[in-house]
Chains A and B, each alone.
Chain A
Amino acid sequence: MISILIFILFFSAGSIFFTLNVLKVRRNILLGKDINRKDNPSERWKIMTLVALGQKKMFERPIPALLHLFLYVAFIITQIELIEIICDGVLGHHRMFRPSLGSFYTFLVSFIEVLSVLAFIGTIAFLSRRNLLKVPRLVKSELNGWPKLDANFILLGEITLICFIFMMNGADEVLYNNGWSHASESKGTFGLAISSHLGPILFGGMSESSLHIIERIGWWGHLTMVFAFLNYLPYSKHFHILLAFPNVYFSNLLAKGKFTNLESVTNEVKLMFDPSAVVPPSDGAPMRFGAKDVTDLSWKQLLDSYTCTECGRCTSSCPANITGKLLSPRKIMMDTRDRLMEVGKNMDANKGEFKDDGKSLLGDYITAEELWACNSCNACVQECPVNIDPLSIIIDMRRFLVMEQSAASTELNMMFTNIENNGAPWQFSQADRLKWKDE
């Protein structure tokens, strides 16, 4: 009875804390400017099914894709066992799905066990790739400190979780072998793919009370790890396991080469061409061209930043980064999220109002040198397995640099002047535009 109470308390506290944090993340994301990404729902469901659920873009790099698939499928399928754990916890049963599901239960839990072994292999491989093999994109400088620690925490957490599953099932198997399991009064075997062999090897010959303790450690451990993970998500890059789905759903469906036309600029230009032109009245907010801080970005760009799991495929395909420039598209996303979280904390500390802290995304996090190194080639956008768009942030910040701060380099200003005066980025007269014909 007490264990049921503890379970319900633990479950409720974990769920409430998570919900509060998710609401905070949602509030932060909605600090972004409005943008319509709700059109064409059928296309959006399709792309979400293929890219998020189906991991389509991951398979551009087959080895990490396969290892990731082990973890991904194991994660999803293990939730079935979690449902049983929750039901058992609330109702005080033990393996309550087993009698009704029969052999299907054996199959299902065996399937989970096999996937758990594969996930274990995947996790070990991922740890090695980061810490031993030092795959270049996983050891870049922007990962120093917390991001590196975060990645290893997640992987160690996953290993721990898998160990708990096998403690639970393995010890229960030995209990059942001896007729001590709460699942059945007779002697027998659960017949599970892994634990019916692994259990006796690890725990065979142990006393009934030790086995019960190990089984409970496994059971509670599994549950604790799941809730620890859940509540760790909003603080971690691991949030992608949930946000990948909405983020891909709200993807840009248009050609990647197409950049937005700033409407505020269109209105100004229309007035320049025709002072009597009718333009929509401004909503009174001070106009800012381009982005200086996270609140100048769109909610989708902010959602992108929370979704980024720092895999670095973008950076490893970025021509600027490959050739040693400061720009790393991954860092653009990490900086955006870090600044957004800072703004969020500032609001929490000031009764929901942002108090000017004298900082901004541009300058304090992202430098002009990084922004100017971009080739706008869309390689980062193409690479991202969850359709994050670092390029749009780079361009929005360039717009601020050029239109609000007039901070373009002399060469670029010369190009602007040439276009303005000659209709070409070089110093040639527009009157000579057809001369090539006669040369």
Chain B
Amino acid sequence: MSLDIETNSYGGGFATPPVDAANAFRAAMNAMARPGTVQDIAGASPPAGISPAAGALLLTLCDPETGVYLAPDVDSPELRAWLAFHTGAPIVAADQADFALGSWVALMPVGQYRVGTSEYPDRSATLIVEMAQLIPATATLTGPGIKERAELRLPDVAACQANAMQFPLGVDFFFTCGGQLTALPRSTTILPKE
């Protein structure tokens, strides 16, 4: 019996995990540290329906210590098996999640995710939002990581503004599309683009 790694959950992981994860993390860190920049991230081939960028983030950041919530539009036996094999991350409910994956509409409402506590604002969820496209921008950004102002495509400007209003509480976002990602930390001040 042969093992066809193209069609089952054992394939699609990092070829050289320490190096691929390091490169993927550097992209994720640059995105989070410089909101508005688009970063390339590669190395993962997740099951159909999930972007390589989102797959690389999951492989880089998730393990048995992190609960992952899969929104209804991405939740599938294939993805669950792939995550279980490559990360060992438990699948949890939205209000327990460290990481949540899905399209914006499927992930909503944003209020159901953990935002941290005033003494531990780091105990909050990170949302990995699958996007159809990362451009053109819909919002103007200022704040940490941005020299003067930056621009970013957001699925819902008002909801992201409400999240930022809770600073230092709130969730943080990665936006993924194909092999690229952008990020929006809760510290960013957001204005709709004219």
- B and A form one assembly: no
Point out residues on B near A: beta carbons under 8 Å.
none
Point out residues on A near B: beta carbons under 8 Å.
none
